[in-house]
Amino acid sequence: MVLKTWEIFFKYHHLGGLLLVALVAAALYVKHDISYWNVVKKRVTSKEEQLATKHDSTTNYDFFSGRWVYDDVSYPLYKEEQCSFVEDSFACEKYGRKDLKYQQWRWQPHHCDIPRFDGKAFLEKIRGKKVLFVGDSLNRNQWVSLLCLIESSISPSSNKSVTLAGNLLYFHDIIRNSCNFFFLLNLKEYNATIGFYWSPLLVESNCDDPDKHSVKDRIIRITSIEKHARHWTDADILVFDSFMWWLEPTMTLLWGSFGSSDAIYKRVEMRLRRYEMALNTWSDWLEININRTKTKLFFMSLSPYHLVYVKGERWDVQQNCYNETEPIFKEEYWGISTDPNMMHIAESTIQKLEKRGLKIEYLNITHLSDYRKDAHPSIYRKFFHPISEEQLASPKSYSDCVHWCLPGVPDIWNQILYSYIINSS
């Protein structure tokens, strides 16, 4: 029953479309403005400043620059087959991946250590609270990773399942009355909820229906978010992402309602501008509706993909994540998908909001993930569309180089998220 729901939910997620989009996008944005990075380089805080503010947050620890270290003693943090939440899109071992080294890399920041993930401590911390992930399938990837990380800390007798109720996905032990837009998990033992809300563009769009979101011509209500956002107001912790879905070369913007006779439709390229407009709608909503004493906010920086990457010294369009078994060790490496202009828009939206008194932690996981060309499912996952003979003959052509195997990279994102949450008041 539950599995069936998952299948319906993901059946339409045609990766092919995404790959095509990403390839086009990647091809279009090959020219990186390297100088950008000199502008946004983190301010170097003096030792004194760091010590002075150390007690109230983890912000001064730079978790985001470091290197991957092979560590088969502490990793993986859980076993794939022991996690009842791993969905088939991320279950690489189950779908035949034989080299399992991708599960055994630890992210080692240069100047600190990431605290060990303690599931019991996390569950205590969220007792009586609601944690909500809001975004696209990469955010769902991270949400599933979090469920796997805590599963061993939940009492085995707890009735665990995931249910679809509209756009919200919760993991729960009592099936709730499913009102229109939700997916639910409710941990009775801790009176806590950890949910996922499908809203890939954050604002309203014709991709919002979890049952049929793979729409070719995307139509975005660029100034409307309330339909989704009203489901977020009572959350104690909100974790957002939004990037991949904006890469379409053209999209239709809509002012007014779907189907209304006086609605205005405008087909535009302007990839950066539309992303900025949507993030402004999102941040305006947060500014007005978020209770600052109650809700902690996080935004995940873009999750890189490996449809093309630097092999040796040059971009290699033939090369994707298929058959890759090692991370990239060259520290200054920046992949083609880590679009600095898109990142800059997200960063500046968040900075502007902070100036207006609302703090969002920007978890800058792009660079650390970018090294991990080995950690995508490639062909080792369930595909919800048939693979043709032609594709089978050339595995690269249908490899998923966007999502991440579990256990894997999203576990590290969650370890970082954990350290922010556990150290917060």
Ligand X SMILES: *[C@@H]1O[C@H](CO)[C@@H](O)[C@H](O)[C@H]1NC(C)=O
Question: Helix (H, G, I), strand (E, B), or coil: what is residue 175?
Answer: coil
Residue 208 among the catalytic residues: no
Query: Could you tell me which stretch among 17-25, 35-43, 89-97, 210-218 binds ligand X (CB under 6 A)?
Result: 35-43
Candidate list 38, 39, 48, 128; residue touching ligand X; CB under 6 A: 128
Give 40 or 263: the residue with its C-beta nearer to ligand X.
40
Least distance to ligand X, CB of residue 258, Å: 32
Q: Which of residues 344-363 bind ligand X (CB under 6 A)?
A: 347
Q: Which of residues 324-343 bind ligand X (CB under 6 A)?
A: none
Phi, psi of 244 (to 5 degrees): -50, -40
Residues 137, 224, 242, 369: which is the catalytic one? 137
Residues ≥6 apart with Cβ < 8 Å to 259: none
Candidate list 82, 191, 257, 424; residue touching ligand X; CB under 6 A: 191
Give 128 or 386: the residue with its C-beta nearer to ligand X.
128
Candidate list 175, 272, 310, 358; residue touching ligand X; CB under 6 A: 175
For position 320 contacting ligand X by CB under 6 A, the verdict is no
Residue 137 among the catalytic residues: yes
Between β-strands 296-300 and 237-240, what pairing exists: parallel, antiparallel or unpaired?
parallel
Give 175 or 317: the residue with its C-beta nearer to ligand X.
175
- Strand (E) positions, 74-167? 105-109, 130-135, 161-165
Candidate list 84, 257, 323, 394; residue touching ligand X; CB under 6 A: 323
Q: Are 404 and 375 in contact (CB under 8 A)?
A: yes
Q: CA–CA distance from 336 to each of 37, 143, 341, 363, 370 (Å)?
A: 14, 26, 12, 20, 9
Instruction: From 20, 106, 115, select the one nearest 69 (Cα to Cα).
Output: 106
Q: Which of residues 196-225 bind ligand X (CB under 6 A)?
A: none
Residue 425 among the catalytic residues: no
Give the burial class of 46: count Cβ atoms within 10 A of its Cβ; 0-12 exposed, 13-18 middle, 19 or more buried: exposed
Phi, psi of 379 (to 5 degrees): -90, 0
Q: Which of residues 51-90 bind ligand X (CB under 6 A)?
A: 64-65
Question: Helix (H, G, I), strand (E, B), or coil: what is residue 308?
Answer: coil
Residues 208, 241, 370, 400: which is the catalytic one? 400
d(CA 82, CA 86): 9
Candidate list 41, 55, 98, 216; residue touching ligand X; CB under 6 A: 41
Which residues of the shown chain bind ligand X in the complex (CB under 6 A)? 37, 40-42, 64-65, 128, 159, 175, 191, 291, 293-294, 323, 347, 364, 367
**Residues noted as catalytic:** 137, 400, 403
